[in-house]
A and B are shown apart, each in its own frame.
Chain A
Amino acid sequence: MIRDLIVIIFTAMLVNNYVLVKFLGICPFLGVSKKLHSAVGMGLAVTFVMLLATAATWPIHTYLLTKFHLEYLQTIVFILIIAALVQLVEIILKRYLPALHRSLGIYLPLITTNCAVLGVAKNNITEGYELFIEAMANALGCGLGFLLAMVLFAGVRMRIETAKPPKCFEGMPITLISASIVALAFYGFAGVIDNMFM
């Protein structure tokens, strides 16, 4: 059991990294990865919301939508739940944990329209996790993978700042090309999980 969960987490984090392999959550990945501390903040906030979103959407899908044959409302229900959750968390953080709100709260509104969060909620269903804890493990792995990609890429970008690429490559193009090289590194994880847990 523990082993299964660890395999799920590592698979989601390294092999199927949401940002670099599955292309989910590219906007914050490119937008907020300029400074290390904002990259960490965004990564943690996304991980937190992914866990929260899974904790809400998985049971609702499994015990409500499937039961009443309302699967076609999945997208609409999920996005509303995520939006409401993010609002709620922001209000709670602002009221009771102002310190945390200052460090993480500013990223929360950005997350409502982050496709990685909705992606996790939907993938938990399509990948057919039968247990709640498996879905949560997947969400955790995806969130940590996002955090890892953000942090690694923040380091890369700090170097790019000082580099001088050809004029037309400045800004976005050179950022994308370095993202390509980081993604190439993650590509190497493909066979790792199998061999690690043999």
Chain B
Amino acid sequence: MWKNFLKGIIRENPVLVLLLGTCPTLAVTTSVANAFGMGAAATAVLLGSNIVISALRRMIPDKVRIPSYIVIIAGFVTVVEMVMHAFVPDLYEALGVFLSLIVVNCIILGRAEVYASKNRVLDSAVDALGMGVGFTLALFAMASIREIFGSGSWMGFEIPILSDFTIPILVNSPGGFFVFGILIAIVNAVTKRKTGRDFGCAGCPSAAVCGANDGSLQNAAHKDHAAGSGKGPDDTAEEGGK
């Protein structure tokens, strides 16, 4: 159980290891507060959808699996949206469109497909919490770097000295890509992971969902990174270099 929880935080961290959910990771990490808000919202949706999907896993016919998951996830996202709009309007404004885009966040649909649809409710809930916390921590780390060096503050509190020497580009879009790149490189170096790991459907659990293991796709455009597409995330982390 505890191991199940921890895997989402370290070994299978959705952002830094599985390279999922890059859009919100880059977009909302301009401040630590936003990152926390996003992480909490995604965790709530993940928890809710994992529990419901796991509970309904025997009822949902295979054919309408994906549409059903999407509806359930979209339902939870809308609930979270409305609750945040009502009780934390500032955060709601700051996250903007990315709040509703949790619907298409690969982490959520990926966990539903890979884990919740095959496991018991309790396990799915633990898995959701682990992944959610892992997502939140990754956002938190990234936002801390960007906010401290980009705005000279942390959680909105000004840091003396640093606030006089800010690097504003870090809180803009180029800085997002840059910090994320550096962060992954650090993770690579620390874990001594075999590098050369690439982005693409290989690391994305929704590859199976979105049709990436459809034969035509592999043969045509995805030839270059089709290796391992359709595999679950559990066995992709050590994909070999070229």
Which A residues lie at the B interface, using CB under 8 A?
20-27, 30-32, 34-35, 37-38, 41-42, 72-76, 79-80, 83, 102, 105-107, 109-110, 112-115, 118-119, 122-123, 126, 166-177, 179-181, 183-184, 186-187
Q: Separation in Å of the A158 CB from the closest CB of chain B?
A: 12
B104: interface (CB < 8 Å): yes
Find chain B residues with CB under 8 A from A42 CB.
221
Q: Tell me if B199 counts as interface (CB < 8 A to partner A).
A: yes
Residues of A within 8 A of B71 (CB): 76, 80
The reply to whether B26 and A168 contact each other, CB–CB distance below 8 Å, is no
- Determine if B241 is an interface residue (Cβ-Cβ < 8 Å): yes
Provide the main secondary structure of the chain A interface: helix
Of A115, A166, A180, chain B has the most CB atoms within 10 Å of the CB of: A115
Q: A75 and B81 in contact (CB under 8 A), knowing A31-B201, A122-B97?
A: yes
B145 at the interface (CB under 8 A from A): no
Instruction: Out of B23, B177, B181, B221, name the residue touching A115 (CB < 8 Å).
Output: B23
Closest CB-CB distance, A34 to chain B, in whole Å?
5
The answer to whether B225 touches A31 (Cβ under 8 A) is yes
Cβ-defined contact, A187 with B181, below 8 A: no
Say yes or no: B78 contacts A75, CB within 8 Å.
Answer: yes
Q: B134 at the A/B interface (Cβ < 8 Å)?
A: no
Asked whether, in the complex, the Cβ of B212 is within 8 Å of the Cβ of A119, the reply is no
Q: Is the CB of A187 within 8 A of B70?
A: no
A113 and B23 CA atoms in complex are apart in Å by: 12
B74 interface residue (CB < 8 Å to A):
yes
CB–CB A23/B198 < 8 A: no
- CB of B61 within 8 Å of the partner chain: no
The 5 closest A-B pairs by CB, nearest first: A176-B181, A109-B211, A180-B177, A38-B221, A173-B185
For residue B163, CB closer than 8 A to chain A, the reply is: no
Interface size in chain B (residues, C-beta < 8 A) = 62
Q: Does B161 contact A (CB under 8 A)?
A: no
A110 to B104, CA, bound (A): 11
Contact A23 B185 (CB under 8 A): no
B67-A80 in contact (CB<8A): yes
Determine which of B82, B103, B212 lies in contact with A79 in the assembled complex, contact meaning CB atoms within 8 Å: B103
Give the chain B neighbours of A22 by CB distance below 8 A: 27, 173
Q: Are A167 and B210 in contact (CB under 8 A)?
A: no
Whole-angstrom distance from the CB of A127 to the nearest CB of chain B? 10
**Structural contact, B220 and A106, CB atoms closer than 8 A:** yes
CB-based contact A172/B184 at 8 Å: yes
List chain B residues, Cβ under 8 A from A169.
181, 185, 188, 195
Assess whether B174 is in contact with A118, with CB atoms less than 8 Å apart: no
Known: A172-B184, A173-B188. A122 touches B197 (CB 8 A): no
Q: Does B119 contact A (CB under 8 A)?
A: no
Tell me if A112 and B210 are in contact (CB < 8 A).
yes
Subset of 15 A-B contacts with CB under 8 Å: A24-B23, A27-B199, A32-B222, A72-B78, A79-B74, A80-B74, A106-B221, A109-B217, A119-B101, A169-B181, A169-B185, A171-B199, A172-B198, A172-B199, A179-B181
Contacts A26-B22, A173-B182 given: A79-B177 contact, CB under 8 Å?
Answer: no
Q: Is the CB of B195 within 8 A of A171?
A: yes
| B210 partner, pick from A72, A105, A109, beta carbons under 8 A | A109
Chain A residues, Cβ within 8 Å of B197? 171-172
B184 to chain A, nearest CB (A): 5
Shortest C-beta distance, B122 to chain A (Å), equals 27
A167 to B77, CA, bound (A): 39
Please give, as numbers and ranges, the residues of chain A lying within 8 Å of B106 by CB-CB distance.
27, 113
Q: Which of B74, B100, B216, B241 contacts A106 (CB 8 A)?
A: B216
Q: 1/0 per residue B68-107: CB within 8 Å of A?
A: 0011001101100110000000000000110011011110
Taken residue by residue from 103 to 143, chain B's Cβ proximity to chain A (1 for < 8 Å, 0 otherwise) reads as 11110010000000000000000000000000000000000
